[in-house]
Structure 1
Amino acid sequence: MSQQPQVYVIHENAEWFPPFAAAFAAQGVPAQEWLLTDGSIDLSAEPPQGVFWSRLSASAHTRDHADSKEYGRAVLRWLESWGRTVVNGSEVLELEVSKVAQHAALRAAGVDVPATAAVFGRGDLKTRARSFSAPFISKHNQGGKGLGVRRWDSHDDFDAWVDGPDFEPSPDGITLLQEYLWTREPFVTRAEYVDGELVYAVRVDTSAGSFELCPAEACAVDGEDGTPAPPLFQLREEITPEHPLVAQHRAFLKAAGIRIAGIEFAETYDGRLVTYDINTNTNYNPDVEAIAPHSGPGRIASLLGSLLTQHQPVPA
């Protein structure tokens, strides 16, 4: 690693990095990737000087990087023990990899969240599911990209899945059962925040019924005929910093120490604004970025560049 102070981006998926690399370069912010897919650290050695940004992902296991969560826990605690500036540090990582932790933190902050049960192992799943009216949702506690999320229209179908060979456990063994949110229109909203401020909000089309809604260019898929699929993501200009839920989100992010995040919510037919997911390694859709009044990666580069300018070497 460089001896000169710089921004270190801690993550495990190089495919998601190019938009951020371009933003750092455009603003003249020296930045270096730190891939947590292998390697070692000397716990008694001093870390390099600089600013560290964690982009560790709950979906790392889907890229054969299941150990990156534990690598991240170790590295972030090491950095923090030396007094380094860590953006989205160890406590934020715990929110990223646990929807139980997200639900608890949001509920405690007064944010409306879906009715949810956490089931440990498989034995109590069928019984606990009876407390939810069909349709209902099952999902992984450690998810990401909407993977592991299923809608169930009957308890019998759910029972057959639980007992059958296609049952897919969460990487941490915790399955969530959750009320199905009937939205007023077939979309959900993803609000992007950097340093506690709303960058913009995105309308995410759910009319096809998919829960895999990753906004990054690397996640895009073409239509069946090979042509680009219709855009799933559109700018919601009517969601402004004055929106009441945005104010709740901002207060929550400040209290939780989360400086960069995308937060997803649904507007239900009966008027609820229900927040159901926090993405602390948020990505940005290139089509939205092209027309948005502000750039997500640009705001991040500005924030981290400012922190680097303020950086004072921490004595050993």
Structure 2
Amino acid sequence: MRKVYVLHENNQWTVHLKNRLEELKVPYELWHLDEGLIDLSSEPPQGVFYNRISASSHTRDHRFAPEFTEAVLAWLERHGRKVVNGTRALRLEVSKANQYMALNQAGIATPKTIAAVGKPHIIEAAKSLGMAPFITKHNRAGKGQGVYLFHSVEALQDYIQSPSFDEPVDGITLVQQYIQAPEPYIIRHEFIGGKFLYGVKVDTSEGFELCPADACSIDDLLCPTDNEQAKPKAKFEILKDYRPAFIEQYEDFLFANKIQVAGIEAIQDADGNSYAYDVNTNTNYNSDAEGKAGQFAMLELATYLQNQLGSL
């Protein structure tokens, strides 16, 4: 029997999709790719294969899940199986440098960024950037891992020489222009089947942890306010009637890179210029925000996978 096969490494991030597939009575199977084996001389089963491997897998002790998944995807694609978020999507997921180059090629602005390996070169990158404040981030990350704001090169030097220096898993540190937004929020643009679904306004006043998954936000669903009598502000809010002019450009970018499911995070500066700075091909959704808006992306995703299975 043909099925939807979900390639993943995090059960917490898969349960909502599993529930929606069951609700729609779609046959499915979960492939947890933290470890395992694959006979490359065999043929894969028939079905639709949806890749949900995350760049942050190493933070869950699943260090080689992306590498193993790439081998699995190569096997599937060699045999002409229908893959949602295939090899190209995975390569962008695990490298922000790859993301920025692909975004720039599509004419989409990103913050000025310098990639560096080695502590002396990170300092050199900050000097070459020639602007402050600036941020550092890991090339392969997720959930804001390795993102720090610095107001001077000296502050960066102190951090790099300290025991708290956070070494990137792939060795590449990005030194990046800090985009100062007039208000503390970014917008995450969600796409399913390569088409825009909705935009989520994400409050960034508490820092760089922007993962919208319920598992990520249990402790910070609501942001504190100075006035205890004031109604708490939701960290994630789905925007109504939101479709900026650049959405078609984002959709073209996804099509060119064979990405069917993604969340693209962008920030706007004081002059109204928008910069994309993260492409998440293992995108998650916040149930509180969706409940208020009456839009349910996992249901949309399960329906999309159901339709892809039916089209085989």
TM category (shorter chain) comes to over 0.9
Matching residue of 2:93: 96
In 1: Cα distance, 2:267 partner to 2:41 partner: 47
Hey, what's the Cα distance between the residues in 2 that align with 1:290 and 1:25? 20
Normalising by structure 2, what TM-score?
Answer: 0.93
| Equivalent position of 1:314 in the other structure | none
In the alignment, the residues of structure 2 paired with residue 286 and residue 214 of structure 1 have an alpha-carbon distance, to the nearest angstrom, of 12
Tell me the distance in 1 between the aligned counterparts of 2:233 and 2:56. 25
How much has 1:169 moved relative to structure 2? 1.6
**1:123 corresponding residue in structure 2:** 120
In 1, the alpha carbon distance for the partners of 2:260 and 2:139 equals: 22
AA aligned to 2:277 is: Y
CA distance in 2, matches of 1:295, 1:42: 37
- 1:88-127 deviation line (CA, Å, top 9, x unaligned): 0011100000000000000010001100001122231112
* TM-score where L is the length of structure 1: 0.92
Q: Does the 8 Å contact 1:200/1:292 carry over to 2?
A: no
Deviation at 1:203, TM superposition (A): 0.4
Provide the residue aligned with 2:154 in structure 1.
Answer: 156
Deviations 1:66-101 (A, max 9, x none): 110111111110111111111000111000000000
Instruction: Give the residue type in structure 1 aligned to 2:257.
Output: A
Any idea what SS the aligned residue of 2:73 has?
helix
Query: Cα deviations across residues 6-42 of structure 1 (Å, max 9, x unaligned)?
Result: 0000010001112101211122211111000121111
Which residue in the other structure is 1:190 paired with?
188
State how 1:214-293 maps to structure 2 within 5 Å.
214-222=211-219, 231-240=234-243, 243-293=244-294
Deviation digits for residues 256-278 of structure 1 (CA, Å, limit 9, x no counterpart): 11100000001111110111100
For residue 167 of structure 2, give the secondary structure of its aligned residue in structure 1: coil
SS in 1 for 2:156: helix
Correspondence for 2:138: 140
Q: What CA RMSD, in Å, does the superposition of the two structures yield over aligned residues?
A: 1.4
The alpha-carbon deviation at position 168 of structure 1 amounts to 1.3
Contact 2:201-2:239 within 8 A present in 1 as well: yes
Among candidates 25, 28, 39, match of residue 28 of structure 1: 25
1:123-149 Cα deviation digits (max 9, x unpaired)? 311122013322100000001111110
Percentage of pairs with the same residue: 44
* 2-structure distance, mates of 1:306, 1:121: 47
Measured in 2, the distance between the counterparts of 1:186 and 1:89 equals 34
Find the aligned partners of 2:143 and 2:241 in 1 and give their Cα distance.
25
Query: Contact 1:264 / 1:275 at 8 angstroms: preserved in 2?
Result: yes
The one-letter amino acid of 1:232's match is K
1:83 to 74, 80, 83: 80
1:230 Cα offset (Å)? 5.1
Q: Which consecutive residues of structure 2, in runs of 5 or more, have no partner in the other structure?
A: 225-231
Write the mapping of 1:63-74 to structure 2, written as runs, cut at 5 A.
Answer: 63-74=60-71
Aligned length: 301
Separation in 1 of the partners of 2:24 and 2:294? 17
Which residue matches 2:227? none
**Aligned mates of 2:79, 2:293 — CA distance in 1:** 38
Q: Matched residues in 2 for 1:17 and 1:221: separation?
A: 16
Partner SS for 1:176: strand
Is the Cα contact below 8 Å between 1:140 and 1:149 reproduced in 2? yes
Give me the whole-angstrom Cα distance separating, in 2, the residues matched to 1:64 and 1:124.
Answer: 28
Matched, 1:111 2:108: yes
8 Å contact kept, 1:199–1:294 = no
Deviation at 1:237, TM superposition (A): 1.3
Per the TM alignment, residue 184 of structure 1 is displaced from its structure 2 partner at its CA by: 2.0
Partners of 1:230 and 1:148 lie apart in 2 by 26
